[in-house]
Structure formats: C-alpha cells, structure tokens
C-alpha cells in the first residue's frame, strides 16, 4: 500500500458502493477482488488502482491504458469462443497477484500514473469497430482490478454488437462477477496457478479453491469459460500438483471445459529453465486419458498437433490451428461432420 494524495490523481472517480464498504473511522474495505484490502485514508490498496480519500473509495486509473492491440482470439487462448475472430485487446496497470515469473511484469508490476489521457469507453469501442474487430478483450495485466472501466466498456460494446471477454486470474469477488455479467461479459479464460501447496509457497494468501468457485459461478451463469494452467519449473510442475489441478478441473467444471496446458519460459524474477516438454506431454496424456477432459491443448510450443480441436467421440480433427489462426474447420455449426457429436463451442467459426 502506498501513501497518496487526491492531487496525484486528477482523473480519479468515486466507485459504486457495491464494490466497497466502511470498516471503522476512515478505513474502507475494497471488495473488487478476494483480497478485500483494508485501506486507510490517503493510501492505495494492494493493486494500486484504488485509493481511500476521506473515507470513500476512488478508482484512480479510469481509462489509463497500458496497451491497445487487435489480436486473434486464439492467442488469449480462447479456442472454443468465436474461433478465428479478433478482439481489440487492452490493459491497464498493476495486479492483485505478485507472481515472480510474471510474463507481463512490465505492465502488472507497476502502479498507474495519475497524470494521463483518459481513453473513454466510447473511444475504445469505436477503435474496435474501425479496425474490424469482433469484440473487446481485457488482458495482459489482471483485468478485473479495472472493473468500473470494464463495465462501461462492455455495456457500450454490447450495444454495438461486439462480444466481451477477459483473460483473468479468477480472483474477483462475487459482487464483481455479478456486475461484469450484468454489463455484458460473454466469456473468459481463467489462469489457475497451481495447487494449494504451490500457492502456499509462491502465492501466499491466495486460495485456489476460490478460483474454481469463481469459474463454476461463471459457468452457472452461462458465461463461456476456458482454463489455462502454466506449468512452471520448480513451482507447480510436480505430478502431485498437476494431478490436483486436473482432478479439480473435472470435479468442479466437468470434462467439457477446455484446458490449456502452457509451457513456461524464464521471466521477471524467476529464471529456472523452461518447462520440460516431457512434463507437458505427460500432463496432456493424464488430462485426456486418466481424467477424461475432452479438449486439452499445449501452448507455447507452437505445434499444430496440440493446438487442434479433436472430436471427443470419433477423434477426427475438427478445428485445425496454426500460428494462432484457424486453417481448417470440419464443423457443421457446433457438431462434428463425421459423427454428429456436439462440441463445447460459443459462437461460430469465422471464415
């Protein structure tokens, strides 16, 4: 938590009381994520995006974007959501996690600057339309710490016929989820960091059970969900941890929900060697053969074999991908052309 002044943030905006509460005296509780930061007057919370000024919570980085880029939906990765479409992808600053192997640390590990030009939601949506994108995607840093901005963007995007997705660590509060769903969230990819033991050592205070609770909540509210598991050398790559993640996936979300097993590469403050290919292949085998997960992928090795969607009934390749793009589709809407099996799919495959 950092001591700040209102003068540091001329673009600050008071947020809805649904996302914060009074504690005592001039201390408030931020309820955007499951950290529920207790914030004293004149200080920010853990992520740096919310500050208490005179006993009220302000969002101090509204429209302060760190990146804006049109990207394929497959790169998120979202393989079963409007395949071959593109989304205008944007991000802010900061995070509610502090992963020492963070891939986007140059965005996530920095608090927002108070002096910036606001990118209004209308400007962002118009940018997506002009570029020919099919939707919006909040990504790169943890998007849900910017929930007030996402709500405004998603509502407007929906009015313009665009879809809305996020790439998240899944540690948002229940009220945050409700507000995102109400504003027009269509889908998300949730990054599970590992098992309880790996969290205790490397992400103390973060409970992976909450992440699965949230993924299930989204599913129960008809939001498209895919999961990503970055297997990191020396952190969550032991097979006791891998098996916990695979079992939890099936028990909580079911076998239809796609699982992306991704290879780690050294980044930020962690420099162990990249995940051994043998570990990834064995996790892939376990997920499919032992746990019955129907749609399993290996990312960051750039092998089309492990980026292709196969029919869970007859085994035929249904959506063939190469370089984050669909190169062939053998679907009739959401069914296998050969055997008629229905697959987990939101939307259609874009030509």
Mind spelling out the 3-state secondary structure of 55-101? CEEEECCCCCCCEEEEEEHHHCCCCCECCCCEEEEEECCCCCCCCCC
CB 34 within 8 A of CB 172: yes
Asked if pLDDT for residue 312 goes beyond 90, the answer is yes
Whole-number pLDDT of residue 62? 96
pLDDT in tens, 150-205: 999 999 999 999 999 999 999 999 999 999 999 999 999 999 999 999 999 999 99
Whole-number pLDDT of residue 46? 96
Asked if pLDDT for residue 325 goes beyond 80, the answer is yes
Which 3 state secondary structure label does DSSP give 119? coil
Whole-number pLDDT of residue 294? 98
**Number of neighbouring beta carbons within 10 Å of residue 56:** 15
Asked if pLDDT for residue 323 goes beyond 90, the answer is no
State the pLDDT confidence band at 1, using cuts at 50, 70 and 90.
confident
Average pLDDT, the chain: 96
Whole-number pLDDT of residue 126? 98
The predicted model gives 35-54 an average pLDDT of 97
Whole-number pLDDT of residue 64? 96
Whole-number pLDDT of residue 114? 85
Asked if pLDDT for residue 12 goes beyond 90, the answer is yes
What residue segments make up the domains of the chain, in order of their start?
6-59
The predicted model gives 337-341 an average pLDDT of 96
Of the candidates 190, 192, 246, 191, which has an alpha carbon nearest to the alpha carbon of residue 218?
Answer: 190
State the pLDDT confidence band at 115, using cuts at 50, 70 and 90.
confident
Whole-number pLDDT of residue 33? 98
Whole-number pLDDT of residue 305? 97
pLDDT in tens, 242-293: 999 999 999 999 999 999 999 999 999 999 999 999 999 999 999 999 999 9
Query: What's the Cα-to-Cα distance from 348 to each of 141, 295, 337, rounded to whole Å?
Result: 28, 17, 14
Of the candidates 70, 71, 84, which has an alpha carbon nearest to the alpha carbon of residue 307?
Answer: 84
Whole-number pLDDT of residue 244? 98
Question: How far is 154 from 16, CA to CA, in rounded Å?
Answer: 17
Q: What percent of the chain has pLDDT over 90?
A: 94
Q: What share of the chain is helix, strand, coil (3-state, %, to 5)?
A: 30, 25, 45
> Lowest mean pLDDT: which of 111-115, 277-281, 320-324, 334-338?
111-115
Please provide residue 297's backbone torsions phi and psi, each rounded to the nearest 5 degrees: -135, 155
In 169-258, at which residue ranges do the beta strands (DSSP E only) sit? 187-192, 224-231
Asked if pLDDT for residue 90 goes beyond 90, the answer is yes
State the pLDDT confidence band at 228, using cuts at 50, 70 and 90.
very high
Instruction: State the pairing for strand pair 296-299/259-263.
Output: parallel
Whole-number pLDDT of residue 324? 93
């Amino acid at each position: 938590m950092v001591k700040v002044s209102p003068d540091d943030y001329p673009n600050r905006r008071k947020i809805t009381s649904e996302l914060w509460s009074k504690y005592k005296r001039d201390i408030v509780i931020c309820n955007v994520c499951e950290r529920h930061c207790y914030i004293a007057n004149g200080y920010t919370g853990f992520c740096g995006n919310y500050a208490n000024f005179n006993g009220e919570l302000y969002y101090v980085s509204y429209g302060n974007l760190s990146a804006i880029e049109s990207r394929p939906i497959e790169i998120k990765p979202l393989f079963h959501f409007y395949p071959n479409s593109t989304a205008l992808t944007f991000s802010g600053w900061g995070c509610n996690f502090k992963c020492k192997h963070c891939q986007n640390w140059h965005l996530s590990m920095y608090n927002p600057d108070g002096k910036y030009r606001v990118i209004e939601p209308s400007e962002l949506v118009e940018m997506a339309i002009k570029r020919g994108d099919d939707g919006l995607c909040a990504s790169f840093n943890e998007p849900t710490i910017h929930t007030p901005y996402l709500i405004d963007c998603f509502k407007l995007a929906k009015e313009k016929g665009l879809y809305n997705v996020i790439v998240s660590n899944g540690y948002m509060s229940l009220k945050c989820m409700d507000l995102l769903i109400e504003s027009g969230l269509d889908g998300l990819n949730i990054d599970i960091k590992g098992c309880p033991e790996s969290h205790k050592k490397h992400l103390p205070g973060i409970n992976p059970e909450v992440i699965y609770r949230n993924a299930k909540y989204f599913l129960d509210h008809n939001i498209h969900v895919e999961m990503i598991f970055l297997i990191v050398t020396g952190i969550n790559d032991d097979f006791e941890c891998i098996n916990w993640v695979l079992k939890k996936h099936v028990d909580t979300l079911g076998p239809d929900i796609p699982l992306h097993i991704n290879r780690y590469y050294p980044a930020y403050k962690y420099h162990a060697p990249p995940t051994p290919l043998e570990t990834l292949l064995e996790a892939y085998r376990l997920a499919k053969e032992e746990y019955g997960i129907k749609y399993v992928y290996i990312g960051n090795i750039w092998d089309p074999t492990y980026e292709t969607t196969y029919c869970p009934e007859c085994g035929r390749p249904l959506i063939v991908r190469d370089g984050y793009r669909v190169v062939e589709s053998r679907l009739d809407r959401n069914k296998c052309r050969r055997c008629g099996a229905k697959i987990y799919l939101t939307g259609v495959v874009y030509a």
